[in-house]
């Protein structure tokens, strides 16, 4: 795992928004409120708009010291100089993406409900693995459902574990206790009446838990933004 970036906290994923100025301003609030990573995701934009938006978010993230990852498209990540990419089941080969982006890139893999897929992704060069949906998700209502035990099963892989799918500040703590290093959220932050307050609420879920082996003294983690 590239230790350049913190890998514990809120992994914010942008909503579909074709207004670039508005999207950047929405992302700015989320980043300034403490998001650890930002992923650019826009399923409805054409290639030209995606490139323009990704470049604008890259500048924002670079200024804030937050990594930008590109959803589904490692070639776009390479083009705009993003910190990395996140690949789903049909978004290309992890090994090819690693070879193109280099050893320092953050490269994630959607593993859904499949620990075997996670093992293969790490072997191919993934920096982290993502499981979910853990709860019903307004973004992907038909997503495969993952069991919380997957987070524990993935611990021996030695990479950060991301939980996604219907996560709220209330249910995030149980996933974190089970081993999630980051919780990935779209609507829970970007559709909130007060996105800044929503970010802070998610970060509160990372407050030290009793007998947490990752933080035995009960001190705030330096990796939690």
Give the chain's domains with CATH numbers: 9-204 (3.20.20.70)
In the DSSP assignment, the letter for residue 130 is E
Strand stretches in 16-89, DSSP E: 37-40, 68-71, 84-87
Return mean pLDDT, the chain.
91
Tens digit of each residue's pLDDT (9 = 90 or more) over 55-98: 999 999 999 999 999 999 999 999 999 999 999 988 889 999 99
Kindly indicate the confidence band of residue 153, based on its pLDDT and cuts at 50, 70 and 90: very high
CA-to-CA separations, 150 to 33, 58, 165, 201, 214, in angstroms, rounded: 29, 32, 14, 24, 18
Q: Could you give the CA distance from residue 41 to residue 176 in angstroms, rounded to a whole number?
A: 24
Using the predicted structure, report yes or no on whether residue 225 has a pLDDT greater than 60.
no
- CA angle centred on 86, ends 89 and 38, rounded to 5°: 145
Q: Could you give the CA distance from residue 37 to residue 67 in angstroms, rounded to a whole number?
A: 5
What local confidence, expressed as pLDDT, does residue 129 receive? Answer: 98
What local confidence, expressed as pLDDT, does residue 221 receive? Answer: 43
Catalytic residues: 41, 110, 140
What local confidence, expressed as pLDDT, does residue 210 receive? Answer: 58
Q: How long is the chain?
A: 225
Of the ranges 7-21, 59-73, 169-183, 203-217, which one carries the lowest mean pLDDT score?
Answer: 203-217
Tens digit of each residue's pLDDT (9 = 90 or more) over 14-29: 999 999 999 999 999 9
Of the ranges 49-53, 142-146, 210-214, which one carries the lowest mean pLDDT score?
Answer: 210-214
The β-bridge partners of 86 are 71, 108
What 3-state DSSP class applies to 25?
helix
What local confidence, expressed as pLDDT, does residue 209 receive? Answer: 55
């Amino acid at each position: 795992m590239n230790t350049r970036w913190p890998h514990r906290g809120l992994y914010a994923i942008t909503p579909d928004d074709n207004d670039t100025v508005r999207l950047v301003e929405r992302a700015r609030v989320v980043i300034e409120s403490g998001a650890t990573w930002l992923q650019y995701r826009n399923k409805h934009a054409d290639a030209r708009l995606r490139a323009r938006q990704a470049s604008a978010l890259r500048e924002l993230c670079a200024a804030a010291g937050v990594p930008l990852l590109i959803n589904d498209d490692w070639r776009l990540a390479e083009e705009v100089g993003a910190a990395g990419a996140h690949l789903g089941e049909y978004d290309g080969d992890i090994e090819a993406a690693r070879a193109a982006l280099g050893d320092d890139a953050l490269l994630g893999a959607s593993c859904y409900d499949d620990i075997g897929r996670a093992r293969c992704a790490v072997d191919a060069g993934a920096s982290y693995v993502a499981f979910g949906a853990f709860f019903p998700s307004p973004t992907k209502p038909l997503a495969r459902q993952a069991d919380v035990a997957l987070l524990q099963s993935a611990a021996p892989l030695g990479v950060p574990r991301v939980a996604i799918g219907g996560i709220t500040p209330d249910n995030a703590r149980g996933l974190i206790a089970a081993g999630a290093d980051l919780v990935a959220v779209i609507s829970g932050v970007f559709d909130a009446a007060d996105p800044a307050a929503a970010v802070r609420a998610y970060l509160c879920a990372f407050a030290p838990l009793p007998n947490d082996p990752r933080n035995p003294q009960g001190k705030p983690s330096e990796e939690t933004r």
